[in-house]
A and B are shown apart, each in its own frame.
Chain A
Amino acid sequence: MMRLQSQVKSTSILYRWLGDRIFTVVVVLLGASIILITAGMAWVLFDEGGLALREFGFFGFLSGTTWDPAVQLQFGAWPFLFGTLVTSGLALLISIFPAIAVGIFSAEYAPKWLSSLIDNLVQLIAAVPSVVIGIWGIFVLAPWMRETVYMPIYLWAETSAPGLIPILGHPIGYGMTTATIVLSLMIVPYTAALSKDAIESVPKEQREASRALGATRWEVIRMAVLPYARSGILAGTVLSLGRAIGETMAVAMLIGNKNTLPFSIFGAGATMPSVIVNEFREAVESLHLSSLMAIGFVLFIIALIVNLLAAWIIRKYSISGGKVV
């Protein structure tokens, strides 16, 4: 016994000292590399986009409404910024309540088997590659929307309210509305899953306290669960917004890709990711290429802001150990 103990000690002193050092160094290096890679990406985008940003100015580039790579070589990102903000914002609005409802149902109401079925379906939807969703949109959703929604409305407007025609736009099936609907479907799983996590992490004590006051099931949710989970739900929503803003393939396949304002409700439009993926291969002019890079840089900044916002919401509103921190 004694021999064993001394044995352990003599080998372990060096081992533990060294192990500790190595582990620390590895962890610090990995952590630092993440920061370096991120900063490096930002730098590359900024550097490559520098030509365009110098030419038009940062805010001039953002607010420029003309995107003409063929004749004028004039590049303004506003149409794409606008397209991104509108499609993502509306997609968020459409999806947020159904998604939270799915989260509440799965966490609070569904029996275990149904809840895990829902969770799996939600994960499945999230795991479908966006190009597949894009194909489904092209062959199923867009034609269907055109026949059952866009065309009837358009035809009605043609006879009864011709003033609406420019706002509605050409009902070709591929456009802002179709892209928005697909985007909202694509972010439902994220909001739902994150809401469910937030709801499930509400302490049992909070639910029981409201139950003991005579709260019904819905009252428990309203009184104890949702207020407690609000930061998680809100942060989840913001992160889903980030997904919507960055979504590329499905949107590029369905939005119709029109580079010039004005965009219309049914008509074609574009977003920042969609214009990058569509024009990158054909960009020969260095100013054109640089402008696409500059859009990438703007997207990067937006992603950063969205993530910081989510982090801030969690810090500001989350509740731990019964304290609002």
Chain B
Amino acid sequence: MDYKSIKKFTMKILNSLKTLTTGNKKLPQTASGLALATHPQSGTDAASHIEIGAGSNAHSSVGSAAKPARMETRGLTVMYGKATGVHNISIPIHTRKVTALIGPSGCGKTTFLRALNRMHDLTRIARVTGEVLLDGKNIYDSDINPVLIRRRIGMVFQKPTPFPTMSIFDNVVAGLKLVGIRNRSILNEACEKALRQAALFDEVKDRLGDAAVSLSGGQQQRLSIARALAVEPEVLLMDEPTSSLDPQATNRIEELIHSLKKEVTIVIITHNMQQAARVSDYTAFFYMGKLVEMGKTKSLFTNPRQKKTEEYITGRFG
């Protein structure tokens, strides 16, 4: 029995149950309390059960993006030797929402972001303390493999970073090949899906074999996003993804972020206040390595609680 025949079968039961209940409705409501209590009741029960079953089935076929993990930080501190990168940050990262990190340059935004997928492991002098909880589990626990964490929490950098010796296609599926997927049709499908998500597919569909570096800067950045999305991460971290792009390319990336948050939790650093206001649901304002305040983007921009925040968003410094 395959999936389709099961579906057909359940639909049949569902339909017959429906006619049963509607048929029952024609009966006088008060006629038989017993009949009403048994047949239609069990009918709706079965129907709702099947609905849920079918629903969850459809979801699981979407993949890991179906149910992104919950994420939050607790007392997160990053030190570079004796210097503090960020100090004692405790914030929630809302699931399937866009969280913007803003603040003057050098305030620790990048430092904080890189702590979220253990990128500091690569920097010798960086030391991370505190917790980053992913579904309640600290990703810095000793039994956690950082490689697996980075597969669940993708990252897009300030500058586009295509692998220069690889084609467009190979760039997109690079992460999938890492996990051992070699099946051409799976790779093709994943490549197309990721490129579509990154709103790049139509521009490159006829030249997937071309070198990735033949693309324009904006296209390269969308390619970097597609590459990060291809492994179906639950969280996507973006460090000023539009800072090296022209307004038009920036626009496209912003639209992209908007459509992506249906499936992926996004944390984005931006220098640009308007951008934070446009794309994010929540905003965290950092200043000198500390969190000044975090809240719904709208309320933070229209009604900041802290004076520092107000000064920054009105452009008095930064």
A324 within 8 A of B: yes
Of the candidates B179, B213, B228, B231, the one having the most CB atoms from chain A within 10 angstroms of its own CB is B213
Partner of A228, one of B157, B164, B224, B228: B164
By size class, the interface of chain B is 20 to 34
A257 to B175, CA, bound (A): 56
Could you give, for residues 203-224 of chain A, a 1 whenever the CB lies within 8 Å of some chain B CB and a 0 otherwise? 0011111111111100100011
Q: Which of B3-11, B18-26, B63-71, B148-156 contacts A (4 or more CB under 8 A)?
A: B148-156
Q: What B residues does A219 contact at CB under 8 A?
A: 178
Using known A-B contacts A214-B151, A223-B163, A324-B165, determine if residue A208 contacts B157 with beta carbons closer than 8 Å: yes
Partner of B231, one of A206, A209, A213: A213
Q: What A residues does B37 contact at CB under 8 A?
A: none
Of the candidates B161, B179, B227, the one having the most CB atoms from chain A within 10 angstroms of its own CB is B161
Q: What A residues does B175 contact at CB under 8 A?
A: 213-214
Q: Which residue of A lies closest to B153 (CB)?
A: A212
The answer to whether B174 touches A210 (Cβ under 8 A) is: yes
A208 to B156, CA, bound (A): 10
Q: Which residue of B lies closest to A206 (CB)?
A: B161
A265 within 8 A of B: no
B117 within 8 A of A: yes
A230 to B163, CA, bound (A): 13
Could you give, for residues 156-168 of chain B, a 1 whenever the CB lies within 8 Å of some chain A CB and a 0 otherwise? 0101111111100
Using known A-B contacts A219-B178, A223-B174, A322-B213, determine if residue A212 contacts B164 with beta carbons closer than 8 Å: no
14 pairs of residues in contact across A and B, judged by CB atoms under 8 Å: A206-B163, A208-B157, A210-B163, A213-B154, A213-B227, A214-B147, A214-B148, A214-B151, A223-B178, A227-B165, A322-B160, A324-B164, A324-B165, A324-B213
Beyond A205-B157, A209-B157, A212-B155: 15 further Cβ-contacts under 8 Å? A205-B161, A208-B157, A208-B161, A209-B163, A211-B150, A212-B154, A212-B157, A213-B154, A213-B174, A214-B178, A228-B164, A228-B165, A319-B165, A322-B162, A323-B213
Residue positions of B touching A, CB distance < 8 A: 117, 119, 122, 147-148, 150-151, 154-155, 157, 159-166, 174-175, 178-179, 211, 213, 220, 224, 227-228, 231
